[in-house]
Amino acid sequence: MSSTGAAPGRGDKAEKPPMRDALVAAAFRLFLERGYEQTTVDDIVALAGVGRRSFFRYFPSKEDVVFPDHERCLADMTAFLAAGSADADPVRRVCDAARLVLLMYAENPTFSVQRYRLTKQVPGLRQYELSVVRRYDRALAGYLRARYAGLRDGILRADVIAAAVVAAHNNALRSWLRSDGKGDAEAAVDHALGHVRASFGAEPAPAVSGGPGDVVVIVSRRGAPLWRVVQELEAALGRG
């Protein structure tokens, strides 16, 4: 997934960046030189050479210029989840959706590391970032709730898996950011998400109703714990 938000140190210097990208670049230059709290919107637009109206056309607040691509990434994630087929493994699908966030960060390591350091220093930005994370969590949980509708503890299952995906993704992402963006971020996130898929396995089989002659077939991951196989069997028999 491509990021539209340019940042310091990115792009062809011979080309004038779009206004939105110029505002992001100006903001981070000032944040690094003066500090976040000491920089005003007026300072940003003056350096970018545009008016206040232009700033608020792209960003509702100064906080939003720090996270210029999250709205688009959230929209991409929501669309990706909605486009999934009905027979797709929902755990795999939400893990793949989380990778969209990682790709947004990994496309420009310099900008991502600068933002990480800035966010650690400014309590207001940490709260803003947490609110963004909650929105990703809700998007994943919403998809899973729909997939697990009708199953025993379907909502609980959905919320727990969504939280696990977010926690695994963020653990790997922050480790990469703390290393100043060195190493293979995608491999680190894939490794972390692998733990989620190993823990929660494939989608439970839907309940099957019918006469006493019905045959129920359970497909389970090799090495799955016995309790999970029993749980899936109960769900298939309608006892969940």
Question: Is the domain of 43 the same as that of 86?
Answer: no
Query: Which residues have a Cβ under 8 Å from the Cβ of 193 and sit 6 or more positions away?
Result: 95, 98, 99, 165, 168, 169, 172
Neighbours of 178 (CB within 10 A): 13
Q: pLDDT tens string for the chain (240 positions)?
A: 433 333 333 344 334 458 988 999 999 999 999 999 999 999 999 999 999 999 999 999 999 999 999 999 999 999 999 998 888 999 999 999 999 999 999 989 999 999 999 999 999 999 999 999 999 999 999 999 999 998 999 999 999 999 999 999 999 999 999 999 998 999 999 999 999 999 996 644 344 344 444 555 555 566 555 555 555 655 555 544
Question: Is the domain of 139 the same as that of 224?
Answer: no
CATH number at residue 138: 1.10.357.10
Cα-based distances in Å from 19 to 1, 11, 34, 36, 54: 21, 14, 22, 21, 8
Question: Is the domain of 41 the same as that of 112?
Answer: no
Question: Whole-prediction pTM value?
Answer: 0.73
Cα-based distances in Å from 120 to 113, 129, 131, 212: 11, 10, 15, 61
Question: Is the domain of 193 the same as that of 226?
Answer: no
Question: Is the domain of 158 the same as that of 101?
Answer: yes
Question: Is the domain of 83 the same as that of 53?
Answer: no
Question: Is the domain of 197 the same as that of 101?
Answer: yes
**Nearest in space to 102 (alpha carbons), one of 161, 23, 183:** 183
CATH number at residue 12: 1.10.10.60
Domain that holds residue 135: 69-203
Q: How many structural domains comprise the chain? A: 3
Question: Is the domain of 22 the same as that of 107?
Answer: no
